[in-house]
Amino acid sequence: MSDLILQMRSITKTFPGVKALENVNLDVERGEIHAICGENGAGKSTLMKVLSGVHPHGTYSGEIILDGQPATFSSISDSEAKGIVIIHQELALIPHLSIAENIFLRNERKNSLGLIDWNRTNSEAQELMERVGLHENPTTLISQIGVGKQQLVEIAKAVYKDVRLLILDEPTSALNDTDSEHLLGLIRQFKQQGITCIMISHKLSEIAEIADTTTVIRDGKTIESLDMADPASTQDRIIRSMVGRDLEHRYPERVGVAIGEEAFRVEDWTVNHPTQAGRVIVDHAGFNVRAGEVVGIAGLMGAGRTELAMSLFGKSYGRFQGGRMWLGGQEVRLNSVSEAIDAGLAYVTEDRKRYGLNLIEDVRVNICSAGLKQLTKVGWINANEELRVAEEYRDSMRIKTPSVLYPVGKLSGGNQQKVVVAKWLYTDPRVLIMDEPTRGIDVGAKYEIYTLINQMVADGKAVVVISSELPELLGVCDRIYTLSFGRITGNVPRAEATQENLMELMTQEKEEVR
């Protein structure tokens, strides 16, 4: 019998209105590297949050067995006391403190007077840093080292806490190749020291290289665990089990929409990271979309989907490096959001609370905010007309709100999303870019959003849907582009597209493209 360090038994976790995990089982053997795969939103991160006590015992059902003993964690410090350390995608380091200060945060090295002993702090930090191969001065500030090294600081912190089970959530997604290589080497080295590692990753090649076992999660359920030593456990096999659900009748039929002239064309679009000079986020991307056509852009987290869209929308993201853009056959240069709106481009953000809505304002103000020009004469708003417009969209889009004067922040996710879409439809765009248009909304509201997309193309608009949910793209798009590491890696008509071939294109890495 194998020596299991961890068993998670029929874990079920529900959030209001959503079942995030349903009877999930996970067995991890002592000393192995265990990869967890799944689409965005499949429940991987939630599972790890249950394990590490972020979601405390009692907020989920099922049981966690650690070293053969049932474990109940009510906070992160509980799980850390048992040697479980989780390193999140967004690193939890304090930028203006030094490496050593960050490592010992909450465990400050003190002298007999209770004051911080800086010599001890820095020398002990140095030892930990050497163990993870971080060659820096311990007094260097976190803000002065790159993401790769920051990750090593997090790991040094974990080593200090006597980690036995290290959980890494997409550790290499923000790293370049050298840093990734170093990190993977470090994980292998930990394995020899007997540290067990659970790694969530989208990079299948990486998983194939390093993992002993791979567990696939889909729609909040465990699908299977693959022994990576078995030659049958290929990348294709993992892809199939990641996507293997059927397309149900969740997408409204679109009939008789004529596809017309080219409405939008982008060529060689290249954008760099806003602060990290030289880090290419969007790499010579190009695509086009015709009037009456829905085009999808498929990409995993970190592929540069949102960055591409925001950069097209009045250079709202990153540093523009080059590229050309045509709207309705005419080349345009859009340097601000208002220019983009005037040119007939609209962008429905993936993060409606942060970028899409003014939550403390009412439905009316939000709906009219982007197209306010149409309601104003020399700066004065026609208040009655504004009410009329808001009421019109409330009716036509079936926004469920007690009144158009009701704060948007109090509406449900689906209704908030409709308000965002209404806001952009009121600008009467020629091209709509919809970024994750159905994120965090329920099935019924999703259907209504898809219906709206059909109406838009029937009205002769062109729609670009960005999504990481492949069934959604297959359900609503006429054509799907795949984006991987900032590059367009495929342009697949719906008839030829399957989840498998898309996923393959979406995970294609740079070397293979060239």
Q: Shortest CA distance to 503 belongs to which of 478, 480, 477, 486?
A: 480
**Cβ distance 175 to 11 under 8 Å?**
no
> From the CB of 363, what's the least distance to another protein, in Å?
12
Q: Of residues 276-335, which lie at the interface with another protein (CB under 8 A)?
A: 310, 313-314, 316
CB closer to another protein, 3 vs 351: 351
Return d(Cα 89, Cα 242) in angstroms, integer.
Answer: 21
> From the CB of 341, what's the least distance to another protein, in Å?
5
Q: Of residues 336-375, which lie at the interface with another protein (CB under 8 A)?
A: 336-338, 340-341, 347, 349, 354-361, 365, 369-370, 372-373
> From the CB of 205, what's the least distance to another protein, in Å?
35
Q: Of residues 421-450, which lie at the interface with another protein (CB under 8 A)?
A: 423
> From the CB of 315, what's the least distance to another protein, in Å?
11
> From the CB of 370, what's the least distance to another protein, in Å?
5
> From the CB of 281, what's the least distance to another protein, in Å?
18
Instruction: Give yes or no for residue 256 binding another protein (CB under 8 A).
Output: no
- For residue 276 the two structure tokens come to 């990290």
DSSP letter at 373 equals G
Return d(Cα 113, Cα 444) in angstroms, integer.
Answer: 63
CB closer to another protein, 87 vs 368: 368
Instruction: Give yes or no for residue 18 binding another protein (CB under 8 A).
Output: no
CB closer to another protein, 143 vs 338: 338
- Distances in Å between the alpha carbon of 83 and those of 13, 105, 125, 268, 338? 23, 17, 19, 48, 52
CB closer to another protein, 93 vs 343: 343
CB closer to another protein, 354 vs 514: 354
Q: Which residues contact 406 (CB under 8 A, 6 or more apart)?
A: 362, 363
> From the CB of 434, what's the least distance to another protein, in Å?
14
> From the CB of 466, what's the least distance to another protein, in Å?
15
CB closer to another protein, 407 vs 460: 407
- Pairing verdict, β 479-484 and 61-66: unpaired
Q: Which residues contact 178 (CB under 8 A, 6 or more apart)?
A: 148
Instruction: Give yes or no for residue 388 binding another protein (CB under 8 A).
Output: yes
> From the CB of 337, what's the least distance to another protein, in Å?
4
Write the DSSP assignment of 78-137 as a string of letters.
HHHHTTEEEE-SS----TTSBHHHHHTTTS--B-TTSSB-HHHHHHHHHHHHHHTT--S-
- For residue 251 the two structure tokens come to 């997408």
CB closer to another protein, 141 vs 387: 387
Q: Which residue has the tokens 């009701």?
A: 406
> From the CB of 379, what's the least distance to another protein, in Å?
5
Single-letter amino acid, residue 273:
H
Q: Of residues 396-415, which lie at the interface with another protein (CB under 8 A)?
A: 403-405
Write the DSSP assignment of 185-221 as a string of letters.
HHHHHHHHTT-EEEEE-S-HHHHHHH-SEEEEEETTE
Interface map 74-113 toward another protein (x if CB under 8 A): ----------------------------------------
Q: Label residue 9 exposed, middle or buried (CB < 10 Å: 0-12, 13-18, 19+).
A: middle
CB closer to another protein, 232 vs 380: 380
- Distances in Å between the alpha carbon of 499 and those of 222, 463, 479? 19, 21, 13
Tell me which of 383, 459, 498, 512 binds another protein, using CB under 8 A. Answer: 383
Q: Which residues bind another protein (CB under 8 A)?
A: 310, 313-314, 316, 336-338, 340-341, 347, 349, 354-361, 365, 369-370, 372-373, 376, 379-381, 383-384, 387-388, 391, 403-405, 423
